[in-house]
Amino acid sequence: MVAKAANKDKAVAPSLLSCERKINVSDAVFQAGTWNFKSSISQEGQSADGFTPIPVVEKSVRGTVSNRVTARSRLNVEAANLQTVDSASLPRGKDTLLVSFSVRILPGLGQTSSCNDGIYKAGLSRIVEEYQAQHTLSVLALRYAENIANGRFLWRNRIGASDIEVVVTRRTNAVGKTDTWRFNALDYSLKFFNHECHKECHKVRSLAEVFIEGLTSPFGVVIDVNAFVRIGDGQEVFPSQELILRKPSETFRKGKVLYNIDFKGINTVAFHSQKVGNALRTVDTWYPSSTKAYPIPADPFGAVTSEGLAHRDLSSKEDFFTLLDEWVLDGKRPSEGNQHFVMAVLIRGGVFSRGGMKMMEAYQDIIVLEQAQSEMGNPLLTGKAMEGLHKAFVSISGLRIGVSFPLHTENDIGGHIRLHGKASDLERLSKCKGMSHLDDYLDISEFQPTPAEHRFQNVRRVQSKSNPARVRRRIMRNLNVSEEEALKIYPDSKKQILRLPYFLIDSASTGQKSIRVFVKHTMPLDRHADGDFGSYGLSPVATVPLF
């Protein structure tokens, strides 16, 4: 009995906890010029003479079917794959790409933007103070600085470049002058951090001091970053690609959409701020690994989506939430490397609440293949997938999985089903073969950790409550009137028409075919609501993560 009481009173993480991001990055705009003009960058880091915005260009191309298919596939692999795509390249006569962005480094590490547990809040402040007293943020600051010096934020544009110079400018400092750092990015490795032994380590250390100042001073610091990349005359460049969350029209589908912003009156290609930020926070080499660890982004579960891996999954006991709670609640200090990792995630910021994280810690995507969408339609194929899920939800006891449809529109359910739940529940569901007959039409992903930064949404089934015949029978029964009188009271004109997305199912119990299941997604919510999910993963109350 004592053990039970102790367990009942055990402190837990708050149901409301979030921290603001401390390193804020702007979008990174792409410009074109020549290597000889790279020295023309202004002292304020704002412009470079001779460099012009790189516009997005639309191309129509004729390709081939190149994805894997099965012997039973209905895809016509010998047919041409016609598509329209966005593209961006340096103009003729230009051999250098200029990527420009700013970084705002803010104080307040360890301060919560929301927390409903004063004890936990005080404990979080305590561990941050202890960490800063011991490490002075120098380890992380050096890695942030080197990720700028090595040009990691250039991503694919770094590969094959003959020359890369990164120019960092601090707009103003305490004495009113401008500081500038210049780095040869190719002197630095992306596979490991070498600021300790590099010949220009004094530059990296000097830039790292700016990060420390920004994270600890009252007002923060702003720096400008300009990277000159010599890639060759007229070569293609690689900005961010847009993720299309809404179904394109049937008459026009673009295969690739590049991110672009209005810069100097031109639709100029650019990196998303998130992509640049991901590169800057690629500092984690302390995760569990049987081989020498390479740097990965500091994320709660150590997720590397390009590899389909989570290096710090829950089973490792070295995920952010486990380490943080043990440190704050139990006083169990992590290893030195994991202390750096915890601080890096706090600098990253996010929603760390217990309520939405524990029960919805992972997700899995089921996507209807594009050609199958055009042949059979989303309502039918999504419905067939939902029938398989329905059977699994009913047959597997104890499952608690919510469903959402990220690509839904006002009247189309979209070809994308997202499952939300515990990793253990999704793993149990994956062993069920209820959708194996749809292998040629569906792409089912591995389950992944839910992103730390997300909001919430309720996804519910909506049924029409105004079926005229049913309502009239109720009137006849309750009011003891004739059918003719009931028709006058409730004519067919009162029938409710639902303008919502839906999927089609067949009823196994009644034999009725093509029943429409209407689905409503609420507006984004800031708080998680608990509740039960029905046999289709929908709920009138409970929310699922929205990202």
**Mind telling me the catalytic residues?**
390
Distance CA 252, CA 254 (A): 7
Nearest CA among 497, 534, 535, 531 for reference residue 516: 497
Residue 357's contacts (CB-CB under 8 Å, 6 or more residues apart) are 321, 351, 450
The stretches of 150-294 forming alpha helices (DSSP H) are 201-216, 273-280
Q: Provide the 8-state DSSP code for 155.
A: G
The angle formed by the CA atoms of residues 199, 200 and 201, to the nearest 5 degrees, is: 95
First to last CA, the chain: 43
Which strand (E) or helix (H) includes residue 296? Answer: strand 296-297
Q: Provide the 8-state DSSP code for 381.
A: H
Q: Are 350 and 299 in contact (CB under 8 A)?
A: no
Query: Which structure tokens are listed for 369?
Result: 């293949």
φ, ψ dihedrals at 345, nearest 5°:
-70, -35
Residue 34 CB neighbour total at 10 angstroms: 16
Residue 468 CB neighbour total at 10 angstroms: 16
Token pair 């630095």 is found at: 188
Local structure of 152: helix, strand or coil: helix
- How many angstroms from the chain centroid is the CA of residue 307? 15
Distance CA 287, CA 294 (A): 9
Distance CA 417, CA 210 (A): 45
Q: What does the chain come to in residues?
A: 547
Nearest CA among 404, 451, 90, 456 for reference residue 274: 451
Q: Are 193 and 142 in contact (CB under 8 A)?
A: yes
Q: Provide the 8-state DSSP code for 492.
A: G
Distance CA 466, CA 497 (A): 9
The stretches of 150-272 forming alpha helices (DSSP H) are 201-216
Query: Which structure tokens are listed for 361?
Result: 């810690």
Distance CA 370, CA 442 (A): 9
Nearest CA among 202, 209, 138, 126 for reference residue 173: 209
Q: Are 392 and 432 in contact (CB under 8 A)?
A: yes
What phi-psi label fits residue 470: left (phi over 0), alpha (psi between -120 and 50 degrees) or beta? alpha
What phi-psi label fits residue 504: left (phi over 0), alpha (psi between -120 and 50 degrees) or beta? beta
